[in-house]
Amino acid sequence: MDLRKAVPLLLAWIAAVCGAILFPLSESLPFRLGPARPAGAFVAFVQVQVLFLVLAWPLTLGTVGVREAMGRLGALLALGLPPALVAADVSGEGAGALLRAQALAASFGAFAAALFGFAGPAAGPWYYLGAFLLSAGVPFAAFLSREFGGPDLAGLSILSPAWGATRPSYGQALLFGAAALALLAALRFLRREVDAPARPG
């Protein structure tokens, strides 16, 4: 894996996750950046982390293989761990919340890499449509259902990256992680089928 080609991606990632911490900590700085408070540092960090991996990360996947993409994802998560520890400490979150958040981020990144590896760049428009519907459409549908006395749709939060960013869970991480593994297994199987010699009829 050649990380030199991924330097712009890594720098953008570092800027995003560090900025996610600086904004809630602005009341401790000589200048104020907004009304955020340190108690929300961890939630802000996870939201930016998930947003980056769901929306920005896939833009880099059209020109690299799955193995290279997984290596880059590992580098992103490793670089993001120190800021994650700082955000968790500032917000008073324990190791459990930190592990859930990182498992969730890893599952979203792996799912996107596996999907683009399986379907290629053609997956882009459909991926972003699905990401929008799951991130914004599901919470909005749950809100409308609650406001108009419909069924409780809170259980659908497991499908929404935006919803999961506010309340990371192992269930959601397992769901998207399993989907990523299924796509990787299908990709490996199909490649074997394509490379296999034709059987005599």
**Contact partners, residue 201, CB within 8 Å, separation at least 6:** none
Task: Specify if 103 maps to a domain.
Answer: yes
Task: Specify if 192 maps to a domain.
Answer: no
Structure confidence at residue 194 as a pLDDT band (50, 70, 90): very low
Q: Determine the Cα–Cα distance for residues 157 and 32; give it in Å rounded to an integer.
A: 33
Digit-coded pLDDT (tens) for 129-143: 999 988 888 888 888
Domain that holds residue 180: 3-187
pLDDT at residue 101, rounded to an integer: 92
Q: Are 27 and 38 in contact (CB under 8 A)?
A: yes
Q: Are 81 and 102 in contact (CB under 8 A)?
A: yes
Domain count of the fold of the chain: 1
pLDDT at residue 6, rounded to an integer: 76
Task: Specify if 113 maps to a domain.
Answer: yes
Is the predicted pLDDT of residue 103 greater than 90, yes or no?
yes
pTM over 0.85: no
Among the listed residues 143, 168, 165, the one whose alpha carbon sits nearest the alpha carbon of residue 154: 143
pLDDT at residue 26, rounded to an integer: 55
Digit-coded pLDDT (tens) for 136-187: 888 888 888 888 888 888 788 888 888 888 888 899 999 999 999 999 898 8
Task: Specify if 30 maps to a domain.
Answer: yes
The residue ranking higher by pLDDT, 46 or 192, is: 46
